[in-house]
Amino acid sequence: MFLAIPLIEIAILIEIGKVVGATYTIMLVIGTAALGAALLRQQGLSTIKKVQRNMNQGSLPAIELIEGLMLLVAGALLLTPGFFTDIFGFLALMPSLRRRIVQTFLANFIQSQINVRQKNTGDSNIIEGEHWESDTK
């Protein structure tokens, strides 16, 4: 992966450079990084507000925290020179797609934890969990 991604980036940069020229290619790389940084800032601030709102309401902001990690990865991808990594960085900035990825990750993670506990106890009819009632209505 550490070898394949840079090679893909170089190949794409060379091909785009052949079509539009080196100067425009460099300007495109800088432009996508600047656009990505601006969008990342906007999305990051929005996610921080959601985390604060959830914490003020007394709920765990799990989805928002994982979205924050995704935004961190998106920022690294967008600041890496190249177009291949920019594609994945921009996809991670799309709130609906990011939310769907996080929800799928959490669902798979929770299901894998249930499966592990069932295998460890040897009883497939027992599912461990916690329950609490809230006085707020």
* Cα distances (Å, whole numbers) of residue 91 to 45, 77, 88, 95, 106: 18, 11, 5, 9, 19
**Rg of the Cα atoms in the chain:** 21
Spatial separation of the C-alpha atoms in residues 74 and 40, rounded to whole Å: 8
Is the backbone of residue 63 left (phi > 0), alpha (psi -120 to 50) or beta?
alpha
User: 137 falls in which pLDDT band (50, 70, 90)?
Assistant: low
Q: pLDDT value at position 130? A: 75
Tell me: pLDDT of 78 over 80.
yes
Spatial separation of the C-alpha atoms in residues 64 and 93, rounded to whole Å: 13
Q: pLDDT value at position 37? A: 92
Residue 132: which H helix or E strand, with range? none
Tell me: pLDDT of 45 over 90.
yes
Q: pLDDT value at position 34? A: 94
User: 1 falls in which pLDDT band (50, 70, 90)?
Assistant: confident
Question: Would the pTM count as exceeding 0.85?
Answer: no
Q: pLDDT value at position 120? A: 63
